[in-house]
Amino acid sequence: MLEFQTEEGILRVMLQGEIDHHSAGQLREQIDCRLEELLPKRLILDFTGVTFMDSSGIGLVMGRVRQAAAYGGQVEIAVPAGHIRKVMQLSGIDKLANIHAPVHPAEQKG
């Protein structure tokens, strides 16, 4: 399940539930559709609501990093401390995208 928020060149994608080989394809299509439509300067993938993620989630992130880079965009990953963050760090995604704790959009302006 996804929820999108857009504001001033930023596309925030709030992912929820499990990300596995059954759900990753549909998530990828929905995110890619928004990326192609908006071409945001910053794509924030927010994993706060994700309860499980396998290697399909890593592929989802890496593909969006490549897609955003193709038009000059940047990807950030908002993920709380815990097993999802650990999986991302072990996979090396932190070398491709900035991983940080989730920040509510209203807090970013301050």
Complete domains list, the chain, with CATH:
2-104 (3.30.750.24)
Task: Work out the burial of residue 95: count CB atoms within 10 Å of its CB; fewer than 13 is exposed, 13-18 middle, 19 or more buried.
Answer: exposed
Q: What is the pLDDT of residue 103?
A: 81
- Per-position pLDDT tens, the chain of length 110: 899 999 999 999 999 999 999 999 999 999 999 999 999 999 999 999 999 999 999 999 999 999 999 999 999 999 998 999 999 999 999 999 999 999 865 555 54
Contact between residue 38 and residue 72 where contact means Cβ atoms under 8 Å apart = no
pTM of the model as a whole: 0.91
Q: How many CA atoms lie within 13 A of 46 on its CB side?
A: 18
Amino acid identity of residue 109, one-letter, is K
Tokens of 13: 């994608």
